Structure 1
Amino acid sequence: MKLGPSLHRIGNDIVAVYLVDTPEGVTIIDAGLAGQWRELLTELSAMGRTLDDVKGLILTHGDSDHIGFAERLRRDHGVPVYVHPADADRAKGGKKPTTTKQQMKPGPVLGFATYSLRKGGLRTTYLTEVVEAHDGEVLDLPGRPRIIALPGHSAGSIAIHVPVADAVFVGDGLTTRHVLTGQVGPQPAPFTDEPEQAIASLRALRATGATWVLPGHGAPWNGGVEAAVTAVEEAAKA
């Protein structure tokens, strides 16, 4: 799906992956589920691109529903995979902290579980090698993505600001569709290690002034980063 001249999405509001397309090549943000590989190839073809045009993959964090085809892309096609050092172990299959009890509704939970199974959620291959991406670093990749530390959902969660796409990619720093309740609109994401820290971290996004706020779960938000962050803060108080 094309969102803008330099911006594409594969997947859906349950699990999404983003592609930044520039004359220098393609940068992928997150790797979704293993079974979304075919969608990646289809979208690249629609863009007039191939896997040879992919110069790098950046992970917003190391959870299994964000690293699905990452190792395949790295191992078989030589694409470097970037992750914050605090989440490197998580992306390699390390232990994930136990989160607090989550609010759930049967329908959305079943939908998330069914989609994950259908898209290979049980076939995740963890990373064996990563490239560290640090807060404030501008990576030498298409779109000149800048890393913004966003700890809270996980210790090494990051956002990625890509000015050419007028977008900030937030992973699970926030969500616009809660996968366990089905509630839509900007709000805190579930399965967050440190909920209060996650909300506080969002303040760093305001300085980007980005129009697009792109979460790993939920519809793309083009109402501006200020409105998105404010909505999450209000939702957290409710």
Structure 2
Amino acid sequence: MKLAPHLHRIGNDIVAAYLIVADDGITVIDAGLPGHAKDLERELADLGRTPADIRGLVLTHGDSDHIGFAESLRREHGVPVYVHAADAHRARTGEKPKVATGPMRLGPTIGFFWYALRKRAVPTRYVTEVTEVHDGDVLDLPGAPAIIGMPGHSPGSIAVHSPLADAVFVGDALTTRHVLTGRPGPQPAPFTDDPAAASASLDRLAGLRASWVLPGHGAPWRGSPADVAAAVRAAA
């Protein structure tokens, strides 16, 4: 789905991934679930592009519902996969601490896990080889994605800022639809390792200039990063 001239989304408000589309190629942000590979193929075809045009895949963190087709894209098409050094082990193995899930409602929770099964979430295919990135890096990829450390949801959670796309991709640093309650609007994401650190990391968004804030779960936010950060804090 086209959001803006250089910005496309695959998936939906349950789980989403994004494409930065430039003249010199495509950068993919997050890899959703394995079944989203078909969505990626369709989006590329609509653009008149192929997987050969993908120069890199940047993961906002290493959780299973963000690494879905990363390994197949790496193995089958040679696309490098970038992840923050602090989440590299998680992306390669799935090892992570157990955290409280927080509030849940039966319907949305069942809907989330049913959607994940439909998109072949089980078994998870972890990423064998990753390229580690760090806070402050600007990657030599289409859209010049800049890495902003956002620890909290996981130690290596990041936001990715692309001036070309006029967007900041935030992964699970926040959500605009709680996958376990169905509650819409900006709010903290569930399954967060360190909620206090995640709240503090929202300060990193305030100084960014972008017209889009794009979470891994929920509707795209059309507005400033500072405004969405304030809304998340107000909802906490």
AA partner of residue 48 (structure 1): G
CA deviation map 1:58-77 (0-9, x unaligned): 00000000000000000111
Q: Is the 8 A contact 2:101 2:190 kept in 1?
A: no
Q: Which residue of 2 aligns with 1:164?
A: 164
The whole-number CA distance in structure 2 between the counterparts of 1:39 and 1:123 is: 19
Instruction: State the secondary structure of the residue aligned to 2:35.
Output: helix
Q: Which residue of 1 aligns with 2:132?
A: 132
Q: CA deviation at 1:101?
A: 4.2
Instruction: State the secondary structure of the residue aligned to 2:62.
Output: coil
Q: CA deviation at 1:122?
A: 0.5
TM-score (norm 2): 0.99
CA-based RMSD of the aligned residues comes to 0.7
**Identity across the alignment (%):** 64
State whether structure 2 residue 196 is matched by structure 1 residue 185. Answer: no
Q: Which residue of 1 aligns with 2:23?
A: 23
The whole-number CA distance in structure 1 between the counterparts of 2:224 and 2:15 is: 21
Q: Is the 8 A contact 1:176 1:185 kept in 2?
A: yes
Q: CA deviation at 1:21?
A: 0.1
Q: Is the 8 A contact 2:175 2:186 kept in 1?
A: yes
Equivalences for 1:133-148 in 2 at 5 Å?
Answer: 133-148=133-148
Q: Which residue of 2 aligns with 1:109?
A: 109
Q: Which residue of 2 aligns with 1:37?
A: 37
TM-score (norm 1): 0.98
AA partner of residue 146 (structure 1): A
Q: Which residue of 1 aligns with 2:12?
A: 12
Uncovered stretches (5+) of structure 2, i.e. residues with no partner: none
AA partner of residue 46 (structure 2): A
Q: CA deviation at 1:100?
A: 2.1
Q: Which residue of 2 aligns with 1:228?
A: 228
Q: Is the 8 A contact 1:138 1:147 kept in 2?
A: yes
AA partner of residue 214 (structure 1): L
The whole-number CA distance in structure 2 between the counterparts of 1:122 and 1:14 is: 17
Q: Is the 8 A contact 1:69 1:124 kept in 2?
A: no
CA deviation map 1:160-204 (0-9, x unaligned): 000011100000000000000000111000000000110110111
Q: Which residue of 1 aligns with 2:151?
A: 151
State whether structure 2 residue 211 is matched by structure 1 residue 211. Answer: yes
CA deviation map 1:140-165 (0-9, x unaligned): 00000000000000000000000011
Q: Is the 8 A contact 1:34 1:123 kept in 2?
A: no
AA partner of residue 37 (structure 2): W
Uncovered stretches (5+) of structure 1, i.e. residues with no partner: none
Instruction: State the secondary structure of the residue aligned to 2:19.
Output: strand
- Equivalent residues, number: 236
CA deviation map 1:90-115 (0-9, x unaligned): 00124211112411000100110110
Q: Which residue of 1 aligns with 2:72?
A: 72
Q: CA deviation at 1:209?
A: 1.8
Q: Which residue of 2 aligns with 1:47?
A: 47
